[in-house]
C-alpha cells in the first residue's frame, strides 16, 4: 500500500465539484461503452470529506447511461471506519447514505487493510458483513494489499471467510448476492500448500466468493523500494488469475478499479487490453489461456458481480430476449500511403476469428460496437 497515493487522493477529494465528477464519470462511461463494456461496478468513495456528493453524481450517471449499460453502484469506504480520528464519521456517512439512497446502491464495499490495527480491521469486516446482509447488498472487500510474509501478518482473507460463516451468510443473506475480494496480493506469497488449503476451505464453505485480480493497480503499487533498498530489486505481486482458476478451482476474474488516479495513473480501463496484458503478466500464452482471459473480463466478471442469473448463454433462438453483445469488425485491407505519384498500398488485413486472436491482438476501439 502506498501512503503517498492515499494522501494525494485525500487532497484531490477536497477539490471535488459536482460538475467535475459528472464530467470525468461520463467520460469514463462513454469510453468504456465504446470499448465494448455493457455492465460494470462503479466504486463511489464516501467519507467525511466527500459526503454524499460522489454518490449523488453516480446515481445521475447511472440513470443517464442506463440505456447503454448496466451500472452497479458500490458505496465504498476507502478510508478507515473503525480507527483514526475520522473513522466514526466516515462510518456514519456510509450508514446515512444507505438509509437515504439505499434504493440506488447495489453493493457495500470497504478496505479493511487501511485500519490502524488488526482489531479495527476485524471490526470493519464484521460491520460490513452484517450491514450488507441487513440491506440486501452485494459485498466487496479490498484486502491484503501487501506482500508481507504470512508468518508476520496473516492475510485478512482468512478472517473474511471466518466471519462470513460466523454471521451465517449462506443461510441469511440474499441468495443472489455475491462477495468480491479484490487485490489480495499477499496471497501471491503464500506457500502452495497454504493457498490450496484456503481454496479448499472456500469451496467447501459454498460461500459465493469471487476473487478479482487488479493487475494494473497492483503492479504500479507493489514492490516500491524503501529508502536505502536496491532500486532495481522490486518484487511485484498480483493474484495469479489463470492458475487460481485452473489449479485451485476458485472463482476468479480480472478488473480495473482505478483509471487515471494516484493508484493507477495510466490506462483507459479497456477490458480487452487488460485481457491481453494478462498473457504477459500471468505467462499465459496457450489457446486455452486466451479463452480463460477473455472470460475473466466478460462472463466470469459478470458472475462475480452477481449478473450471472440473467445471463442467457448458449445458442441464440429467434424471438428470445438476449443481452447486449460485443461485435468486432474485420477490415478487409490496410491502406497505406503511396510513393509520390504512385498507387496507394493495399495490404490484406489479418482477420480476428477466435478468442486467441482477440486477446493476443485486441482490435482497435473503432472496430468494436455493442449490438443491443
178 found inside a domain: yes
Nine-digit cell at 240? 495469479
367 found inside a domain: no
Q: Mean pLDDT, to the nearest integer, of 239-251?
A: 99
331 found inside a domain: no
Would you say residue 240 has pLDDT above 70? yes
How confident is the model over 4-53, as pLDDT tens digits? 666 666 677 878 899 999 999 999 999 999 999 999 999 999 999 999 99
356 found inside a domain: no
How many other CB atoms are there within 10 angstroms of residue 233's CB atom?
8
Read off the pLDDT band of 2 (50, 70, 90): low
How many domains does the structure of the chain reveal? 1
133 found inside a domain: yes
Q: What is the dihedral of CA 288, 290, 295, 296, to 10 degrees?
A: 120
Would you say residue 321 has pLDDT above 90? no
E strand residue ranges, 279-365: 325-328, 333-336, 345-348
Q: Are 86 and 48 in contact (CB under 8 A)?
A: yes
How confident is the model over 127-153, as pLDDT tens digits? 999 999 999 999 999 999 999 999 899
Q: What is the pLDDT of residue 329?
A: 97
- Domain hosting 11: range is 3-310
47 found inside a domain: yes
Average pLDDT, the chain: 94
357 found inside a domain: no
Q: Are 9 and 263 in contact (CB under 8 A)?
A: yes
149 found inside a domain: yes
CATH number at residue 91: 3.20.20.140
Q: Mean pLDDT, to the nearest integer, of 81-104?
A: 98
Would you say residue 316 has pLDDT above 70? no
Q: What is the pLDDT of residue 235?
A: 86
Amino acid at each position: 500500500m502506498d501512503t503517498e497515493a492515499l494522501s494525494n487522493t485525500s487532497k484531490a477529494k477536497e477539490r471535488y465539484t459536482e460538475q467535475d465528477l459528472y464530467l470525468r464519470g461520463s467520460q469514463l462511461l462513454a469510453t468504456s461503452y465504446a470499448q465494448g463494456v455493457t455492465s460494470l461496478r462503479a466504486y463511489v468513495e464516501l467519507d467525511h470529506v466527500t459526503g454524499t456528493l460522489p454518490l449523488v453524481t453516480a446515481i445521475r450517471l447511472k440513470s443517464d447511461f442506463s440505456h447503454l449499460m448496466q451500472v452497479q453502484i458500490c458505496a465504498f469506504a476507502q478510508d478507515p471506519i473503525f480507527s483514526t480520528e475520522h473513522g466514526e464519521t466516515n462510518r456514519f456517512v456510509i450508514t446515512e447514505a444507505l438509509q437515504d439512497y439505499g434504493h440506488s446502491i447495489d453493493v457495500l464495499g470497504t478496505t479493511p487493510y487501511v485500519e490502524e490495527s488488526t482489531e479495527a480491521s476485524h471490526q470493519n469486516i464484521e460491520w460490513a458483513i452484517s450491514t450488507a446482509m441487513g440491506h440486501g447488498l452485494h459485498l466487496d472487500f479490498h484486502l491484503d494489499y501487501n506482500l508481507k510474509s504470512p508468518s508476520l501478518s496473516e492475510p485478512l482473507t482468512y478472517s473474511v471467510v471466518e466471519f462470513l460463516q460466523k454471521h451465517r451468510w449462506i443461510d441469511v443473506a440474499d441468495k443472489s448476492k455475491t462477495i468480491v475480494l479484490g487485490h489480495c496480493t499477499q496471497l501471491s506469497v503464500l506457500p502452495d500448500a497454504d493457498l490450496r488449503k484456503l481454496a479448499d476451505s472456500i469451496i467447501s464453505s459454498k460461500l459465493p466468493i469471487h476473487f478479482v485480480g487488479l493487475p494494473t493497480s497492483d503492479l504500479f503499487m507493489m514492490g516500491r523500494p524503501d529508502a536505502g533498498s536496491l532500486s532495481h530489486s522490486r518484487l511485484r505481486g498480483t493474484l495469479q488469475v489463470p492458475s487460481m482458476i485452473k489449479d485451485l478451482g476458485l472463482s476468479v476474474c480480472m478488473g480495473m478499479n482505478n483509471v487515471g488516479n494516484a493508484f493507477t495513473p495510466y490506462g483507459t480501463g479497456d477490458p480487452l487490453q487488460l485481457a491481453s496484458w494478462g498473457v504477459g503478466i500471468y505467462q499465459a500464452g496457450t489457446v486455452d489461456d486466451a479463452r480463460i482471459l477473455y472470460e475473466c473480463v466478460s462472463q466470469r466478471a459478470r458472475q462475480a458481480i452477481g449478473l450471472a442469473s440473467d445471463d442467457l448463454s448458449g445458442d441464440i433462438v429467434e424471438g428470445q430476449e438476449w443481452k447486449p453483445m460485443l461485435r468486432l469488425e474485420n477490415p478487409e485491407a490496410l491502406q497505406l500511403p503511396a510513393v509520390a505519384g504512385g498507387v496507394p498500398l493495399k495490404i490484406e488485413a489479418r482477420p480476428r476469428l477466435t478468442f486467441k486472436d482477440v486477446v493476443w491482438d485486441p482490435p482497435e476501439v473503432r472496430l468494436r460496437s455493442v449490438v443491443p
